[in-house]
Structure 1
Amino acid sequence: MEVALVKHIAALAGSLPGGKPARRVWELLRDSVVNGEMNDHLALQCSRVAIEVCRRYLGPYHGKTLELMILGYLNFGGDVEKGENMMREMMEGLDALQVFDERHAGVRMNMAVFYNSHGMYDKGAEVVLEVVGNEWMLRESMRYHGVLYRLYWELANSRHKQGRLVEAEKSYRDALEVAKWEISEERGGRAEVLDGLVHLERCLRDMGEEREAENVKEEREMWIKDGLERAGEIEEVSVVF
């Protein structure tokens, strides 16, 4: 549908004399692709239309609708209170469905990111603790790659920014444990391990735990070396075949 729409606009713009609206729309879309930057006004209008279409045809709590609403706000929203209310309404609406799936985990993860990005660290931690403190939600979150890692990471980030370093260290280690478990289940996780080790090392240095920080640094270097060796093996196999 996206390709068909773009082709239609391009054909329409080409058939009209200069100055017509369709030509201007096409120029904006074309320039966004060429320059890698979307015109803010056009992007905002496209976002609103996409959200309304998804809400109408897929439903207000469909995963795509929620994703577009969150991305739309993160890209164009400036009112913190409005953003908080929007996400709270999402979460309450999902909770009313009495199920817990990727949508719930994703909304809560994005809420934690939202709160932390606006310096509301206690609220960010509270959202995460609602999940990791609930055995059922915790178990369900493990089904979705990267979600539980990011929840623990946001909890660690909240505590780190607050200067609660001991708690931050524990949450970074919890995040790493999840990432390593995902690797053992062959569900990815290597990028998360490297990310987690970087932040754990910083936390330990802030605590003055230099020896332990060096151990973490060595572990990170080991993971990098292992990743490069794996990449080399894959390249050699692809060349042979």
Structure 2
Amino acid sequence: MASNITPKRLQWAGPTDWEEKRGVITRLYSSENRPLKEVMEIMEREYGFHATMKMYKHRFKRWGVVKYVNALNARKIARLERDDDLHHSSRGALVIRPQATDIATPMASTARAKSPHPPAANGAELLPQLYTRVSSPFIRDESAFHSVKLYYDVSFGSSSTWTQVSPSSGVVEVKPNLPQIRDQLQDLHTRFRIALNKLTVKPTNPAELVEGIKIMRVAFARLPLVLASEDPILINHILDLVRRLQDSGQTYLESQLRRHIAALAQAPGQPHSTTIISRILSSGFPLDRDHRVLLTQIVVEEFRQHLGPWHFETLQLEMWYLFNREQDWQSRAHVLRRLYAKVEAGVGKDVFDDRHLDILMNLSSALLRAEEPEQVLEVTGQVFSDSARRCELDKHPDHAYNFYWLSAKALGKQDKHLEAESYVRMAMGIAKKRVQEDNDDDVTYLSAMEALVTNLRNQGRLSDADEVHNEMQTWIRNSLEKVGEKEDAT
């Protein structure tokens, strides 16, 4: 008897589905170097994601996704493409830099295979001839991406400094000491940025330049401690600092940072993450936006797999990925609003915790940079005016500091400097309390003092501003002393 059941119509992937699964597809096809047919089977079986081969190829073209060039095939590619190059003068080229490829490996492989082709005299002769037919605007360094993936694969285990296997549930979770590790990394990143701002912008007086040099010296002195902590997003932060130094034209400082990390990586007892960072930096790994997007994609997928999509750490990295992917602040604000709605739908609208605060804080920061102070105050005001949200904010002093800071900045852009002062002083109060409790020179206190100096000068209260500036000088001097530096060594 014929069945009356109508077969369910296959639902093809739509634009939203492609964006949601972009990271997984890219990882399978590009990072793991799987054949397209196998990628399609995995996506259908494990994710219920249905698309034709033509659809995949169309998306790969739009995303700029290509297969990595394996160093083991370097000699074969060189030989074939060098012969073909005589007949094709114009094509897209994917250049493999000499320092990014260990030429001994493909050369040894060729010798074992007893190839009839004579070997190249040296790597310098061979490598400039390496091309593929793929048109690509940037270099893809296979070894760097795979090193990063391997680092996170290994790190998600009980021996890691920041994850552990829960004895009750048996799942991977973040260790309690991670907030302290994260504070050290954020502190280092902020010191570098403050120092860089003072060194790159023409100072109104020579004291600005001297302050920048002193703060940078403290940052370098604290670097070994931060590298040893193996923060989950350490790699991203360090590469971001190198990129900032490149963009600012501070080639000397960039060179010093690279050398410092290379020296630390060779020291006994250094964690594996330091070695990987040093390897990436020494390989000539490009830090353009496209490479940063791919790098962050790998990390986000690792965290989703091990900690889940709604974990605080996963969401932080997803925001970093979105910031790298989008090119302007308006677009970044837009995708952050979408992420917030996605989290609300995922964890429930009756939930409001540090994850929501973190997204709203980053949204406010993006709106501020997009020159939308009214919208910044609207976002922060939604937290300040809601008693439940305000109570949650008070549980997280770091977020409270940032909300006060961003509100003050937004009011300053509206020339409401007197109102802004109250928010600056609230932020400064949080930072000062932290300094007293930890007996440390927390850099957020320096940021708050700088903001207060600017605010007071905008109000015309120059003597008050000078008083706070003198306090800043004392703080910087104490920072130098705590890391064993002398003030007059600048």
Say whether the fold is shared (TM-score over 0.5): yes
Work out which of the residue numbers 312, 319, 343 in structure 2 matches 1:63. 312
Matched, 1:88 2:337: yes
Question: By how many angstroms is 1:36 displaced?
Answer: 6.3
- From the two aligned structures, give the one with the greater helix fraction: 1
Rounded Cα–Cα distance in structure 2 between residues aligned with 1:51 and 1:177: 35
Rounded Cα–Cα distance in structure 2 between residues aligned with 1:134 and 1:188: 33
Gaps of 5+ in 1: 1-7, 234-241
Question: By how many angstroms is 1:56 displaced?
Answer: 6.0
Question: By how many angstroms is 1:153 displaced?
Answer: 0.9
Matched, 1:16 2:76: no
Rounded Cα–Cα distance in structure 2 between residues aligned with 1:195 and 1:79: 25
Could you say if the C-alpha distance between residues 36 and 150 of structure 1 is closer, same or farther in structure 2, counting changes exceeding 3 Å? farther
Rounded Cα–Cα distance in structure 1 between residues aligned with 2:285 and 2:459: 41
SS at match of 2:438: coil
Could you say if the C-alpha distance between residues 60 and 89 of structure 1 is closer, same or farther in structure 2, counting changes exceeding 3 Å? farther
SS at match of 1:86: helix
Deviates more, 1:157-166 or 1:82-91: 82-91
Contact 1:180 1:193 in 2 (8 A): yes
* Residue number in structure 1 paired with 2:281: 33
Could you say if the C-alpha distance between residues 49 and 193 of structure 1 is closer, same or farther in structure 2, counting changes exceeding 3 Å? closer
After superposition, the CA RMSD in angstroms is 3.5
Rounded Cα–Cα distance in structure 2 between residues aligned with 1:46 and 1:225: 38
Rounded Cα–Cα distance in structure 2 between residues aligned with 1:206 and 1:122: 20
Gaps of 5+ in 2: 1-31, 34-68, 79-93, 102-139, 146-277, 486-490
Rounded Cα–Cα distance in structure 1 between residues aligned with 2:463 and 2:419: 19
Matched, 1:114 2:363: no
TM-score (norm 1): 0.75
Matched, 1:217 2:469: yes
- Partner AA of 1:199 in structure 2: A
Question: By how many angstroms is 1:152 displaced?
Answer: 1.0
Contact 1:145 1:187 in 2 (8 A): no
TM-score (norm 2): 0.40
Deviates more, 1:135-144 or 1:116-125: 135-144
* Residue number in structure 1 paired with 2:291: 42
- Partner AA of 2:393 in structure 1: S
Find the structure with the greater CA-based Rg.
Answer: 2
SS at match of 1:221: helix
Work out which of the residue numbers 402, 416, 427 in structure 2 matches 1:164. 416
Rounded Cα–Cα distance in structure 2 between residues aligned with 1:226 and 1:46: 38
Matched, 1:204 2:456: yes
Structure of greater relative contact order (alpha carbons < 8 Å, 6+ residues apart):
2
Q: Deviations over 1:198-221 (max 9, x none)?
A: 111111111111121122112222
Contact 1:152 1:172 in 2 (8 A): yes
Question: By how many angstroms is 1:135 displaced?
Answer: 4.2
SS at match of 2:447: helix
Rounded Cα–Cα distance in structure 2 between residues aligned with 1:73 and 1:187: 36
- Partner AA of 1:67 in structure 2: Q
SS at match of 1:146: helix
Count of residue pairs the alignment pairs up: 224
Contact 2:290 2:325 in 1 (8 A): no
- Partner AA of 1:41 in structure 2: D
Deviates more, 1:54-63 or 1:113-122: 54-63
Contact 2:289 2:324 in 1 (8 A): no
Map of 1:143-162 to 2, 5 A cutoff? Answer: 143-144=395-396, 146-162=398-414
Work out which of the residue numbers 83, 87, 100 in structure 1 matches 2:352. 100
Question: By how many angstroms is 1:90 displaced?
Answer: 2.7
Q: Deviations over 1:190-239 (max 9, x none)?
A: 21111111111111111111121122112222333444444459xxxxxx
Query: Where in structure 1 do 4 or more consecutive aligned residues deviate above 6 Å?
Result: 20-23
- Partner AA of 2:421 in structure 1: E
Contact 1:32 1:38 in 2 (8 A): no
Could you say if the C-alpha distance between residues 172 and 60 of structure 1 is closer, same or farther in structure 2, counting changes exceeding 3 Å? same
